[in-house]
A and B are shown apart, each in its own frame.
Chain A
């Protein structure tokens, strides 16, 4: 009997393989990025006007853009910037936003009022104003782009985290842990966070996609990548006007961004499961 019960429990929570689909897909995206750093099929900024707007072919697997540049090469070259800015901004948003959300959600009171009003103020400010402020103070550059996007994304993460913690702190297992003398830090990190992390990871995935696209929007302030250097967001933006005549032009960066965000989401899922598994062992 005992054995049977034990087996049933084990099969309900099978141990996950270390490398889930998220790891594979993320690895693939990073490998392409690294490859694009070292070499691309064509020079990413090399123009060839007579060969403009050509559909995908063996010579140009993703087709060419309005200047006859190879879209695949530009996607590979742009990966570094888009992923660096996107991941940097997301990390900043998640670290700061989650910290604020955890504290306000768990402790409530004046801390909640003070920090969440600050977050509301940030939400109310158009992101572009924040970006302008950063440009005015620190000047332009990749790091400042990530910084601006990171600050813009923080309030949303904070809100999501806070609501997750408002629910989490009332859970019986948390109350039990507190009653047994667990510190606030232990309750937050060990008990609430692993169980409430799903909405935060989803918000982080959306944040990543948003940051990759927003980077292109900032380049008109001189903050994002400057032409002719490619980034995925810029390519998507530039492709818009050709959407009626060159479908591949917008499709390529669009699919790439989707792939990267999907990879990250799966990876986050894998990590979450791994954490839970470890927790249950």
Chain B
């Protein structure tokens, strides 16, 4: 649904902070009459006309745009991935599975992708999905026919051409091999050409749920799409995403039964009580202590190593996240299973004496002063900053914490790169290239000024690799380089905790922001 990749800079952080929250409400389940025969439930109930099943989930904020090609917010994607689909869609394991294309083949040179479009897929307005709609969607994403010709996403930068030679085929040719291309397609929605100009007001997609209404600061309502290309009989009929900004309010509403599903912070978990089900999973975030490599003394490897040795990640996880986080060693969460290089967490273990020795060795026996600038838009940063400052003080580094407003952070630190050090969390992506590409010297938002030609070479080899094994190997080596270089101090991946009524079954975590409604069920 959305072009998150294209707007890396915006989507990047934002979401993690807001973190959490969703809610679902479990109405007593009543079987639709149509499936009463298939489901031998209590006969008395199946005889009566079924009451539609309903679920109320909490979300924290208004969607940034209902048009999936324009929206950049992960929290919007979390909802709207239920409404829109691309040729492929995300899978819980981080890969992709067929969606509007029932299969695809890649040419031996890795440059031509041929998709066989699914017969029988329909838009929510009842119209069949045609090759023309697919063509329209890619043209729109690539900016063809728009007044300024600007693409709506950077994900298709490597695309040479998109063609639909016949009603059941879509052929995409690339300019150069891009091993992560297929992953990028998972969040690029196919939209009906007939709805042009209305995508942000009356969105029409092909997903298992259709958009019903949106009331700003109140709710987004979705409804099961009966003509979906997969079996929808067991899915919940109506789903409401209620917009509740405050965590404590949401928790109270869950406990009072007003909502059925919400994200809860780790501090709230103990107060939840035993009458709710909780699903916790790593967020696929990467929370880092970023240092500006263009500013002395952070340009010196031994200084960065000393800082890494001074930081006690376990204490941070305990104090700030109540233990609900996993320790990282490089810029990738274990959630990225296939690509994740394990064992890097202990590249520079917590060891204040070693840190002091390293500092003395390079002429800072008494440490040095530095400023840690953190955004105030989520208290996660300020709280982590305090404990980081405390740990660095123990090796003689005198940290001044500077709190800045989020707009200032984006402008001064992220864009103009005027800072010593900062704390930031990168939110999850499906594509390892998008996760690790931040440290490429030519990446536009390489705001820490990391520059290592060996790293750039590994990343280039990975994305141009036609052999998946080679690609995985290069990404793993790249993680090792980041860890050994202390490109940043890679702290942790925090967890999301979703609390729901016990009747809600099938909640499936994804490595990206996505509440997959099609897998949810209500039991009695």
| A and B associate | yes
CA distance A221 to B267 in the complex (A): 26
**Distance of A241 Cα from B322 Cα, bound (Å):** 12
Q: Is residue B403 within 8 Å, beta carbon to beta carbon, of the partner chain?
A: yes
Those of A208-264 within 8 Å (CB) of chain B? 219-222, 226-228, 238, 240-245
Contact with B along A44-68 (1 / 0, CB 8 A): 0111010010000000000000111
* Complex: chain B residue closest to A234, CB-CB: B382
| Chain B nearest Cβ from A230, distance in angstroms | 11
Contact bitstring B284-326, A, C-beta under 8 A = 1, else 0: 0000000000000000000000000000000100111000000
- Asked if B315 and A49 make an inter-chain contact with CB atoms under 8 angstroms apart, the answer reads yes
Q: Which residues of B contact A66 (CB under 8 A)?
A: 319-320, 383
Chain A neighbourhood of B403, CB < 8 A: 219-222, 226-227
Partner of A222, one of B271, B318, B404: B404
Looking at the assembled complex, report how far the CB atom of B437 sits from the nearest CB atom of chain A, in whole angstroms.
31
Cβ of B270 and Cβ of A245 under 8 Å apart?
A: yes
CA distance A227 to B387 in the complex (A): 10
Interface residues in B246-302 by Cβ distance below 8 A to A read 247-248, 265, 267-268, 270-271
B390 interfacial contact with A, CB 8 Å: yes
Q: A47-B390, A52-B319 in contact; A242/B401 too (CB < 8 A)?
A: no
In this complex, how many residues of chain A approach chain B with their Cβ under 8 Å: the count is: 22
Contact status of A52 and B270, CB under 8 A, knowing A220-B376, A222-B402, A241-B379: no
B262 to A: closest C-beta gap in Å: 14
The reply to whether the CB of B121 lies closer than 8 angstroms to some CB of chain A is no
User: In this complex, what residue of A is CB-closest to B400?
Assistant: A226
Residues of B close to A49: CB separation below 8 A: 315, 318-319, 387
Chain A residues, CB < 8 A from B320: 66
Contact of B271 among A226, A227, A245 (CB under 8 A): A245
B-side interface size class = 20 to 34
Chain B residues with CB under 8 Å of A242's CB are 267
Name the CB-closest residue of A to B266. A241
Which of B318, B385, B404 meets A227, CB within 8 Å?
Answer: B385
- A226 and B318 in contact, given A244-B268, A244-B271 (Cβ under 8 angstroms): no
Q: Which of A45, A52, A241, A244 contacts B390 (CB 8 A)?
A: A45
Q: Give the interface SS of chain B, mostly helix, strand, loop or mixed.
A: helix
The answer, among A68, A220, A227, A240, for a CB contact under 8 Å with B405, is: A220
Known: A67-B387, A228-B401. A244 touches B270 (CB 8 A): yes
List residues of chain A with CB within 8 A of the CB of B319.
Answer: 47, 49, 52, 66-68
Provide the residues of chain A in CB contact with B270, threshold 8 Å.
244-245
| A52-B318, A222-B403 known; A67+B271 contact, CB < 8 A | no
Contact with A along B382-424 (1 / 0, CB 8 A): 1101110110000000001111110000000000000000000
By a CB distance below 8 angstroms, the chain A residues around B383 are: 66, 227, 238
In the complex, what distance in Å separates the CA atom of A219 from the CA atom of B382? Answer: 11
Judging by beta carbons under 8 Å apart, are B401 and A241 in contact? no
Can you name the residue of chain A whose Cβ is closest to the Cβ of B381? A227
- By a CB distance below 8 angstroms, the chain A residues around B389 are 228
CB distance from B96 to the nearest CB of A (A): 37
CB distance from B67 to the nearest CB of A (A): 32
The docked-state distance in angstroms from the alpha carbon of A219 to that of B271 is: 29
CB within 8 Å for A227 and B386 given contacts A49-B315, A49-B318, A66-B319: yes
Provide the residues of chain B in CB contact with A47, threshold 8 Å: 319, 386-387, 390
Provide the residues of chain A in CB contact with B385, threshold 8 Å: 227
Contact B401 A227 (CB under 8 A): yes
> Which residue of the partner chain, among A220, A228, A241, contacts B267 with CB atoms under 8 Å?
A241
Cα–Cα, bound, A49→B388 (Å): 12
Cβ–Cβ contact A228 & B386, under 8 A: yes
A227 touches B267 (CB 8 A): no
* Between-chain CB contacts (< 8 Å), 28 pairs: A47-B386, A47-B387, A47-B390, A49-B319, A52-B319, A66-B383, A67-B386, A67-B390, A68-B319, A219-B376, A219-B403, A220-B376, A220-B403, A221-B405, A222-B403, A222-B405, A226-B402, A226-B403, A227-B383, A227-B403, A228-B389, A228-B390, A238-B379, A240-B248, A241-B267, A242-B267, A244-B271, A245-B270
Q: Could you tell me which B residues sit within 8 Å of A by CB distance?
A: 247-248, 265, 267-268, 270-271, 315, 318-320, 376, 379, 382-383, 385-387, 389-390, 400-405
Q: Top 5 A-B pairs ranked by shortest CB distance?
A: A244-B271, A220-B376, A228-B386, A49-B315, A47-B390
Known A226-B401, A238-B379; further 18 A-B contacts with Cβ < 8 A: A45-B390, A47-B387, A49-B315, A49-B387, A66-B383, A68-B319, A219-B376, A221-B376, A221-B403, A222-B402, A222-B403, A226-B400, A227-B385, A227-B401, A228-B389, A241-B268, A242-B267, A243-B248
